[in-house]
Amino acid sequence: MAEPGADSLLQIRTEPGVVRLQGVLLCAAIEPKNNMHLPMPEGQTPGSRLEIALGQINAIDTAGLAFLLGWQVDAAAQSVTLRYTHPPKAMRAMVHVYGLDDWMVMDGV
């Protein structure tokens, strides 16, 4: 059986004010991505908030957390505040262990 491609492991959709992730945030899903920058929805303006919807993420590892931290940097460079909604339990634990609680705002925990 063939291994699924990165696109089938992690899907990213944008809509006004929201970036929705579905699948897994694991090294195997992230590494093959050509563009790892935050996909800014059309109309997103400096000073606004952007929801990163994680309710459909089934698994995350440290590479997945690093991927999201990269998005955090991209957003800060554009003066956009990220809010992570419905993060997986493993992400909440990693954020706490690495002392990122004040930097990565999470709702729906």
pLDDT digits (tens, 9 = 90+) for 32-84: 877 789 999 999 999 999 999 999 999 999 999 999 999 999 999 999 999 99
pLDDT digits (tens, 9 = 90+) for 27-43: 999 988 777 899 999 99
Q: Could you tell me the domains of the chain? A: 6-107 (3.30.750.24)
Tokens of 52: 């990163």
Alpha-carbon distance of 10 to 103, in angstroms, equals 24
Answer whether 53's CB lies under 8 Å from 27's CB: no
pTM beyond 0.95, yes or no: no
- Element at 104 (helix H, strand E): none
Alpha-carbon distance of 78 to 28, in angstroms, equals 28
